[in-house]
Chains A and B, each alone.
Chain A
Amino acid sequence: MTGTAVAPPPTVRASAPHRRGRLTDPAVGIWLAAAAVTALGWIVVAARGGDFLTLANVVGILQNCVALGLVAVGQTAVILTGSLDLSVAYLISLGTLVAATTMEDGGVVTAVLAVLALSAAVGLANGLIVTGLKVNAFIATLGTAFILRGWIEDNYTGPAGKVTVSFQHLGYDRIGPFPVSLFLLLAVAAALWLITRRTRFGHHLYATGGDEHAARLSGVRTRRTVIAAHVLCSLCVGAAALFLAARLGSGAPWAGTEARYDLESIAAVVLGGTALAGGRGGVVGTLGGVLVLAVLDSVFNQLGVDPFFKNVVRGVVIIAAVALYARRGSRRTA
């Protein structure tokens, strides 16, 4: 009932632990694809006399991964339960604004706590609306997105606040070729991987997404699971907002909406092999999906491709990748 209402392929879905071999499959595929895209990009750029794998470029790619990666990792948890979250873009915008304005008067710690508290509250609201009011997740989170948008537009007219210099280190510092923020992403992703794969709650996530009715009958508190997934997702989004605030130096009402983190994150999750109907996939694949999108972006920038044409290619890539998964999945069950 809380499903995303996207017709699931008529395959038999099983809970996570029994099918680990199959589960890792799309994840491996997407990482191979990421490697292939990188190699291809390197060849194409080199043929044009450029150098693709320069330090600056690699740092840029990794840097680009962080914001979308944080959101997509959170989105993975929600999508695994068969729900989805369309409010992430506005939550990011509001998060950067809250972070920057709080930092102006208070300390960094207060700001971080404020953003995380805000995120947790929004996630809780999303979860309660989806499970308590039984509003379809698509509409529920779209509604929350509208509410947040109104809040932002009513209170902020443009960039607001100022991020303290010490906090901006999160956005710009790096250790060797690795940006500091990458470690934030890796830490969050590792935490989510542990939660989804190694804890009882994680198994409940997969069970709820696979077949909510069956999960409930086997004693899983599906409502709680969905609510917790939404809170987790929003916390990840809060982390993304903090990173973007550090990067931008102030809060911006367009921080989340301009890059379309809502739809992009869902695309990255699905690209990473997580089933939109829930119950299959995982964090590792999502990171691969994010990497593919970031590498593609970088290749196009290097080649000087028209930015609007990038969207066209991106659309084709997403559809083609998911079509490939669907093909493979159907053969296995046939």
Chain B
Amino acid sequence: MTTATATGATYKRVVRSLGTGAPVYALLAVLLVLLAVTDIGFYEPDRFLAFVKRAAPLVILAAGQYLVIVCGEFDLSVGAIVTAGVVAAAEVYGSFPDAPWLIVASGLLLAGALAGLVNGLITTWLRVPSFITTLGMMLILEGAVFYWTGGSPHGQLPQDFRQLGRGTALGWLPWAVVACLAAGALAVLLMRSDFGRTLVATGDSERTAALSGVRVHRARVIAFVLSGVAAALAAVLVGGFSGVSAQAGRGYEFEAITAVVLGGVVLGGGRGSVVAAMAGAFSLQALFTLLNLRGVSGALESTVQGVIVIAAVGIGAADWSRLRRRRTNSSGGTPT
């Protein structure tokens, strides 16, 4: 009896310290164990690093998307930004074959920031729902890319530009992993800063935040800009892995949103942690890898993905309402 309540209490404490992300850490742990069981060699350093490398773009996108979602908005344009970034880089190299990669990459990041800035300004100043703003941005970017390249993007990215996506530092550490870790660390630091708290407060209750002196519009615009930069960084990585194609970023917007929601972040804002969002991205990638290893046919892969996403989010939602009810019941039943 006493042990049961004690374990119950510790369980509760652990769950509370994990925040709304608890289900995703459990899911990630289960998936990683299953991966180890399915494939003995999965945890050999180079293979595990390769896994992290493949996950890197999605993790970075999820971190950016988290910033937008936690302040109560959506960014559907990230996939199009990735595609546009890859294609634009190839076009630039087509005209200036000797351009230094650092300048091209920073140019991409700047362009991503600009796209995010436009998204943010339209959403806040013109009060267009961000779903529509970023949907429009997606149509515009995709149309512009195809218009510019005449329907079939061609050209190549030189080796030094692709280093960030496929090369390694010190001979063993993929640059993509470094980029992923750096972006993750930056996101965590950002969320711990005043700005991060401001952002969550904005998503939780815009009016309260505004009345407490938060510049709500500015916070949102910055979130969109950062999401755009994250998408551009992901574009550099994706361009490195897989080269130039018009499909480079297709579907990334939904994957990123799925990852963030898997991480227990509430659509509508105000709740959830960025670490859990990135864990959600890793879970999604682990799920894809697992399905591949298990030999689930490519076609059924999306079915399994759909079921698991619904189930994970559903379980997350259900657990929380029950816990909350129990807590209010106990506080109501036993006055302390």
Binding site for B on A (CB under 8 A): 3-7, 9-10, 129, 133-136, 138-140, 142-147, 149-151, 153-154, 263, 266-267, 270, 276-277, 306, 308-316, 318-319, 322-323, 326-327, 330
The residue from A6, A129, A266 contacting B130, defined by CB atoms under 8 A apart: A6
The residue from B269, B302, B314 contacting A150, defined by CB atoms under 8 A apart: B302
- Are A146 and B132 in touch, CB under 8 angstroms? no
Which residues of A have CB within 8 Å of B266? 5, 136
Which residues of B have CB within 8 Å of A318? 132, 135-136, 139
Known A-B contacts A133-B318, A134-B314; the reply to A323 vs B138 at CB < 8 A is no
- Are A267 and B267 in touch, CB under 8 angstroms? no
Chain B residues within 8 Å of chain A by Cβ, number: 53
- Are A138 and B142 in touch, CB under 8 angstroms? no
Which residues of A have CB within 8 Å of B122? 319, 323
- Are A309 and B143 in touch, CB under 8 angstroms? yes
Which residues of A have CB within 8 Å of B254? 142
CA distance A196 to B136 in the complex (A): 28
CA distance A276 to B309 in the complex (A): 24
| Contact sample, A vs B, 9 pairs, CB 8 Å cutoff | A7-B206, A10-B206, A139-B267, A144-B310, A310-B143, A312-B143, A318-B135, A318-B136, A323-B127
The residue from A7, A136, A146 contacting B129, defined by CB atoms under 8 A apart: A7
- Are B135 and A263 in touch, CB under 8 angstroms? yes
Which residues of A have CB within 8 Å of B314? 129, 133-135
- Are A154 and B299 in touch, CB under 8 angstroms? yes
CA distance A133 to B254 in the complex (A): 20
Which residues of B have CB within 8 Å of A129? 310, 314
CA distance A99 to B305 in the complex (A): 26
Which residues of A have CB within 8 Å of B304? 150
CA distance A313 to B140 in the complex (A): 7
Name, among A9, A140, A312, the residue most crowded by chain B CB atoms within 10 Å (CB to CB).
A312
The residue from A7, A133, A153, A327 contacting B317, defined by CB atoms under 8 A apart: A133
- Kindly provide the distance from the CB of A157 to the nearest chain B CB, expressed in whole angstroms: 9
Binding site for A on B (CB under 8 A): 72-74, 122, 126-133, 135-140, 142-147, 151, 206-207, 254, 257-258, 261, 266-269, 297-307, 309-310, 313-314, 317-318, 321
Known A-B contacts A134-B317, A135-B317, A139-B267; the reply to A312 vs B147 at CB < 8 A is yes
CA distance A87 to B137 in the complex (A): 21
The residue from B74, B128, B151, B302 contacting A153, defined by CB atoms under 8 A apart: B302
- Are B299 and A311 in touch, CB under 8 angstroms? no
CA distance A138 to B69 in the complex (A): 13
Which residues of B have CB within 8 Å of A276? 129, 131-132
- Are B151 and A7 in touch, CB under 8 angstroms? no
- Kindly provide the distance from the CB of B287 to the nearest chain A CB, expressed in whole angstroms: 12
Which residues of A have CB within 8 Å of B318? 133-134
Which residues of A have CB within 8 Å of B302? 146-147, 149-150, 153
14 additional A-B residue pairs with CB within 8 Å, beyond A142-B306, A266-B131: A5-B267, A134-B318, A138-B261, A139-B313, A142-B258, A143-B309, A146-B303, A150-B304, A270-B129, A308-B145, A311-B142, A314-B143, A316-B140, A318-B132
Which residues of B have CB within 8 Å of A142? 254, 257-258, 306, 309
- Are B303 and A149 in touch, CB under 8 angstroms? yes
Which residues of B have CB within 8 Å of A270? 129, 132
Which 9 pairs from chain A and chain B are nearest by CB?
A150-B303, A311-B143, A146-B306, A133-B314, A315-B139, A5-B267, A153-B299, A5-B268, A308-B146
Name, among B128, B254, B298, B300, the residue most crowded by chain A CB atoms within 10 Å (CB to CB).
B128
Which residues of B have CB within 8 Å of A7? 72-73, 129-130, 206, 268-269
CA distance A218 to B147 in the complex (A): 53
CA distance A318 to B132 in the complex (A): 8
CA distance A144 to B258 in the complex (A): 13
Which residues of B have CB within 8 Å of A145? 306
- Are B136 and A138 in touch, CB under 8 angstroms? no
Chain B residue nearest to A329 in the complex (CB): B127
Chain B residue nearest to A9 in the complex (CB): B127
CA distance A330 to B126 in the complex (A): 10
- Are B306 and A147 in touch, CB under 8 angstroms? yes
- Kindly provide the distance from the CB of A139 to the nearest chain B CB, expressed in whole angstroms: 5
Known A-B contacts A135-B317, A319-B132; the reply to A326 vs B127 at CB < 8 A is yes
Which residues of B have CB within 8 Å of A139? 257-258, 261, 267, 309-310, 313
